[in-house]
């Protein structure tokens, strides 16, 4: 499930200089510049849902989920720089499809953080995209989490981690995980996280389709396809959680599951050919990533990942294919 909208360029104002020590997770801190011409840059990962169990629609329109997130090594970078008003620019693949107004989760993150501290959200946010836009890999959610952490550092706020996670949950279901990274089980609508242990490195290939898929449209199709059917309460697979904990790629391949896959394929039948091409190229498992249309292929090692990616590109069933590993760290302030 992709938890929000995705985010083209402008002049970056120059402010005063200084420094602030910003907590990173629960274990350390990094000193970053505050208010200089370079601003503060945060790197934030994409995600793959290794399990996405979806319950029936709730009265509020959301669905209860058992959503096992795994952060992967495809990253956006969000840079916050002092400005006279809130502005957004974007570069990278499909940057023209990224909204540059206040519907962008990065802008909303700056506004919510500023409101919590009683200040004005005067900041320029520049997004360097590498996560596929509207691809089911939480690129918009990543940008929201990245902007939140970057603004917190730039403004010297030192907001407690628990408060940052509350703001993330207000922004969207996937945003808290973008801040946390690693691996986690998301319950509720996906925003309540329990961090999970991962015992090794997993290798992936992600095939990027032409165009995007609307997350609400995919959930709407799920509701249509399950109308009149008793939808079970979502629950995490013990086999899958154990495969993550032990780093067992073969066991993980056998446990991958996405309850939204049928809905995504109903709206975009051409993705079936991509899934087939990747499986025939040697992937251990293939599935639609979240709400799609990006497709994910678990492979045994880095060499196989490069081979499967090349085969997928040559097949003509996707626009491009990218190799990546997991787990990856969550939103991280980059040192100069």
Under DSSP, the state recorded for 18 is -
The one catalytic residue in 36, 76, 152, 174 is 174
Query: Does residue 301 carry a catalytic annotation?
Result: no
Residue 311: its pLDDT value, please?
A: 98
Query: Does residue 248 carry a catalytic annotation?
Result: no
Which of 186-190, 244-248, 277-281 has the least mean pLDDT?
A: 186-190
pLDDT of residue 308 exceeding 70, the answer is yes
Which tens digit of pLDDT belongs to each residue from 236-266?
999 999 999 999 999 999 999 999 999 999 9
More confident residue, 27 or 195: 195
Q: With bands split at pLDDT 50, 70 and 90, how would you rate the model's confidence at 34?
A: very low
Residue 26: its pLDDT value, please?
A: 37
Residue 195: its pLDDT value, please?
A: 96
The model carries a pTM of 0.86
Residue 3: its pLDDT value, please?
A: 37
Residue 20: its pLDDT value, please?
A: 35
Strand partners, 200: none
pLDDT of residue 66 exceeding 90, the answer is yes
Residue 31: its pLDDT value, please?
A: 34
Percent with pLDDT over 90 in the chain: 82
Strands 87-91 and 123-128: parallel
Residue 38: its pLDDT value, please?
A: 67
Q: How far apart are the first and last CA of the chain?
A: 33
Under DSSP, the state recorded for 37 is T
Which tens digit of pLDDT belongs to each residue from 72-103?
999 999 999 999 999 999 999 999 999 999 99
Q: With bands split at pLDDT 50, 70 and 90, how would you rate the model's confidence at 37?
A: low
Q: With bands split at pLDDT 50, 70 and 90, how would you rate the model's confidence at 51?
A: very high
More confident residue, 59 or 25: 59
Which tens digit of pLDDT belongs to each residue from 220-241?
999 999 999 999 999 999 999 9
Residue 44: its pLDDT value, please?
A: 98
Q: With bands split at pLDDT 50, 70 and 90, how would you rate the model's confidence at 120?
A: very high
pLDDT of residue 65 exceeding 50, the answer is yes
Residues sharing a CB contact under 8 Å with residue 186, sequence separation 6 or more, in sequence order? 65, 66, 67, 68, 69, 173, 174, 176, 177, 192, 193
Residue with tokens 């836009």: 133
Residues sharing a CB contact under 8 Å with residue 77, sequence separation 6 or more, in sequence order? 41, 42, 43, 44, 127, 128, 130, 146, 334
**CA dist 311 → 303, 304, 314 (Å):** 13, 10, 5
The one catalytic residue in 36, 47, 129, 152 is 47
Which of 22-26, 207-211, 233-237, 316-320 has the least mean pLDDT?
A: 22-26
**How many H helices and E strands in the chain?**
10, 14
Report the pLDDT averaged over residues 199-210: 96
């Amino acid at each position: 499930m992709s938890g929000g909208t995705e985010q083209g360029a402008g002049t970056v104002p120059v402010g005063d200089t200084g420094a602030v020590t910003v907590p990173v997770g629960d274990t350390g801190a990094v000193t970053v510049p505050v208010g200089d011409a370079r601003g503060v840059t945060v790197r934030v990962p994409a995600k793959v849902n290794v399990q996405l169990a979806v319950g029936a629609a709730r009265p509020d329109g959301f669905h209860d989920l058992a959503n096992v997130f795994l952060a992967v090594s495809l990253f956006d970078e969000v840079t916050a720089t002092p400005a006279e008003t809130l502005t957004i620019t974007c570069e990278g693949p499909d940057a023209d499809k990224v909204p540059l107004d206040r519907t962008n989760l990065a802008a909303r993150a700056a506004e919510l953080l500023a409101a919590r501290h009683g200040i004005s959200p005067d900041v320029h946010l520049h997004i360097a995209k590498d996560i596929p836009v509207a691809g089911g890999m939480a690129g918009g959610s990543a940008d929201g989490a990245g902007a939140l952490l970057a603004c917190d550092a730039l403004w010297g706020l030192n907001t407690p981690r628990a408060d940052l996670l509350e703001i993330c949950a207000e922004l969207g279901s996937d945003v808290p995980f973008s801040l946390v990274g690693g691996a986690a089980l998301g319950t509720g609508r996906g925003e309540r996280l329990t961090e999970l242990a991962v015992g090794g490195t997993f290798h992936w290939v992600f095939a990027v389709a032409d165009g995007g898929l609307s997350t609400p449209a995919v959930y709407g199709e799920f509701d249509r396809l399950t109308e009149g059917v008793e939808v079970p309460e979502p629950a995490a697979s013990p086999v899958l959680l154990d495969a993550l904990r032990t780093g067992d790629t073969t066991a993980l391949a056998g446990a991958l599951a996405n309850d939204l896959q049928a809905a995504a394929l109903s709206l975009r039948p051409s993705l079936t050919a991509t899934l087939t091409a990747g499986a025939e190229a040697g992937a251990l498992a293939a599935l639609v990533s979240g709400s799609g249309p990006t497709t994910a292929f678990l492979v045994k090692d880095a060499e196989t990942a490069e081979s499967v990616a090349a085969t997928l590109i040559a097949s003509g069933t996707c626009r491009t294919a990218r190799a990546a590993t997991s787990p990856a760290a969550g939103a991280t302030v980059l040192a100069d």
